[in-house]
Amino acid sequence: EAGVTQFPSHSVIEKGQTVTLRCDPISGHDNLYWYRRVMGKEIKFLLHFVKESKQDESGMPNNRFLAERTGGTYSTLKVQPAELEDSGVYFCASSQDLWGRKTQYFGPGTRLLVL
Amino acid sequence: AQSVTQLGSHVSVSEGALVLLRCNYSSSVPPYLFWYVQYPNQGLQLLLKYTTGATLVKGINGFEAEFKKSETSFHLTKPSAHMSDAAEYFCAVSDQMESTLTFGKGTMLLVSP
């Protein structure tokens, strides 16, 4: 069974540009999460989809970030326009069930550098 | 609100020595506790988790952790370190009401020959 995949693995862009990150969850997982780790800090929650609906987007830093999940399958996270402080590693995770006891399986992350 | 504290951003051990990575949490409801590991250039991999039941949890690669409610701790141990254990380790908490994970800052484990 394929794990969570993320694309691209690395992205280097200039301030003001737009970047779109993609996450493909494990097949059949209704729950999809985005997290971010800024250098030197902890991994922080951004948002949570249940199928195509946003269950919780309380962690989204501002309106420059837009997440979508088309048809409840893959998800994209767009940053527009990117700022220097957006640099970090963006992780996607998926799980089979809503409740906290279910394991979240993480992708390898996208390393974003904004210059 | 939940929080996780991992003592020590870096821990160094010799190969064959005991590994002890500390994690303390705060949660207003019974927690679910997790340890994840990130090897270089890879994603996060679940080592072990505690949800309910036995407080001593065994995970992969010889690691185990014990949930101590009175101490609000979930320390990770391994009796004998191997060079391949060198990685960054993350403690995380969630609960039955919230499925999102709250992470600690991570501890880098360095293993010397």
Which pLDDT score, from 0 to 100, does residue B42 have?
86
What is the pLDDT averaged over residues B69-91?
96
Residue of B nearest to A109 (CA): B43
Contact present, A74 and A67 (Cβ < 8 Å): no
B70 touches A at CB < 8 Å: no
Q: How confident is the prediction for chain B on average, in pLDDT?
A: 93
Nearest residue to A97 via CA among B51, B18, B39, B55: B51
A34 touches B at CB < 8 Å: no
Burial category of A52 from C-beta neighbours within 10 Å (exposed 0-12, middle 13-18, buried 19 and up):
middle
Q: Do B105 and A41 touch (CB under 8 A)?
A: yes
CA Rg value for chain B: 13
Nearest beta carbon to residue A31 from set B43, B99, B104: B99
Least confident range from A84-93, B26-35, B49-58, B91-100: namely B91-100
Chain A hits for B1, CB-CB cut-off 8 Å, are none
How is residue A98 written in tokens? 């809503």
pLDDT in tens, B86-107: 999 999 998 766 778 999 999 9
pLDDT in tens, A67-110: 999 888 999 999 999 999 999 999 999 998 766 567 899 999 99
What is the pLDDT averaged over residues B67-85?
96
A44 touches B at CB < 8 Å: yes
B56 touches A at CB < 8 Å: no
The percentage of residues in chain A with a pLDDT greater than 70, rounded to a whole number, is 96
Three-state helix/strand/coil letters over A11-61 = EEECCCCCEEEEEECCCCCCEEEEEEECCCCCEEEEEEEECCEEEECCCCC
Q: Do B42 and A108 touch (CB under 8 A)?
A: yes
Q: Do B103 and A101 touch (CB under 8 A)?
A: no
Which pLDDT score, from 0 to 100, does residue A98 have?
60
CA distances from A45 to A2, A15, A37, B98 (A): 23, 23, 9, 12
What is the pLDDT averaged over residues B8-37?
94
Distance of alpha carbon A75 from its chain centroid, rounded? 8
Contact present, B77 and B20 (Cβ < 8 Å): yes
Chain B hits for A107, CB-CB cut-off 8 Å, are 43
Q: Do A101 and B90 touch (CB under 8 A)?
A: no
What is the pLDDT averaged over residues A57-68?
94
